[in-house]
Structure 1
Amino acid sequence: MSDDQIMDEAQKTFATEKGKPFALVYWWKTLKNEPKWCAHLEQMEKEKNKEDSSSDVIDVQNTQRPIGRDAAKAERSGKRKTQEVLDGVVLLGEKVDIVVKAHAESKQERQKAIEVQQRVSSEQLETARLKQIAARDKKQTKLLDVYNSLLSQDTSRMTEQEKANREKAMEKFLKMLGNDD
């Protein structure tokens, strides 16, 4: 076929596919032999050849085949390979080790928290005991001050009743101070 025959056939095909005639015939004839368009056509030919050649080849080596009928039955019935079982046991052992380690660390942290809590509690108890002693000493000091003021009172101007009341109060203060004389 000549170029003119090919061009006529292409125009007919274009008209039937698009529903209108090819309107850029002049420009096609002017530019078809330009180096830019020749390179573009060569590139399109290469891409077309790549698509055609790549669609025919199937890479079988990288495709993983599905498990067969007998292998599926053996797996369901528990007849596994010993290596798979050993791998599972090793993996399970590693997981158990991780759990045991985490449990030990958790137990150690709880023990530390208990020790800190006990130390804080004993410090609070000691503080409360010291406050109680200080309050008792303060009370004793006040009682002693009142007793000393009663002791240093001038009794020359007191009536017998006032003197008797003073003596009773002093005896009570002595008992409260812990001196049973």
Structure 2
Amino acid sequence: MTLSQAITLPFATTAQAQDTPIPKDANGETVRHSACLVNCGSRCPLKVIVKNDRIVRIEPEDAKDDAVFGEHQIRPCLRGRSSRWRVYSPDRIKYPMKRVGKRGEGKFKRISWDEATAFIAAELTRVSEQYGREAIYYNYQSGAYYHTQGRPAWIRLLNLTG
């Protein structure tokens, strides 16, 4: 499992690529290529080492010359190299949750993706109508939000709201 497969949203599309087997080394490990999408915006390239469908380690890409990434040799920091721990953390939230208690109480219930997207749409509409469209603010680099980190997804969402 690659990092981008492990950390995705339900509306992410699957690439229409030819299904070719990925070569394994003598230890049964495969190398998948991903990128660090944690807050800074650099999107450092990562090699995700997978064995038996589990990430076993994450390494930086080892480009040997400038032709691969240009003169700027991007290397992931510890946040990027620790992505495996976020994927397998017992504290990771895997499903939409809605607060049912008072703020700060830590009481949540699991809801469906349909409920979550309907709630978000209703809140975007309510805030926009009550306070104006400028009240919907996109704060770049406020945390790890992976596939929605790119500007196109946010611009599309904001364009859909008018």
TM-score, length basis structure 1: 0.18
Bigger RCO of structures 1 and 2 (CA < 8 A, at least 6 apart): 2
Larger Rg: 1
